[in-house]
Amino acid sequence: MNQPVFGHVGSYRPGDTFRNRIELAFSGLHRPRRAGVCGTQQLGAESIVLAGQYEDDVFDEDEIRYAGNGGRDAKSGHQLTDQVAVGTNLALLKSQETGQPVRVLRKVPAEDGGADVYRYEGLYQIVDSSYGPGKSGFNVFVFRLRPII
């Protein structure tokens, strides 16, 4: 198993794009091929991917609001149940506690109009979190991330 890396990986820098999740995994920027969070509850989150799957995710230039994991209908993206403090949600809470950087990747339209790509947005820090009703009325974790300049 690869050792966790908190911060930039290799020579990859913000703006670099990847055709799919397999390329992301091979690059080491985000190793899981499906999960949106790479990390453990003991060490924290190394990276996250915003892929438009959670209705409570918001990406702004100054701040990201990233919904935690769980309780979502895979087809519609709507919450069906409350999220719970387990697994990757605990990894994100640990990163908030430690202040370690989190790599952020985002699914975006390709510049050439082809298939969507994954773009490395850079390093962010989790500055706050909340737990309460989301858009569908179920309790969700929302993590606030700000870019590290």
Report pTM. Answer: 0.93
Residue 34 corresponds to which tokens in the numbers above?
């499906």
Distance CA 108, CA 14 (A): 14
| Bridge partners, residue 59, by sequence | 64
Between 43 and 75, name the one with better pLDDT. 43
Q: Which domains does the chain have, with CATH numbers?
A: 17-147 (2.30.280.10)
Q: Tokens 């309780």 — which residue? A: 71
pLDDT-derived band at 59, boundaries 50, 70, 90 = very high
Residue 2 has pLDDT above 80, yes or no: no
Instruction: Give the pLDDT mean for 96-106.
Output: 97
Under 8 Å between Cβ of 73 and 80: yes
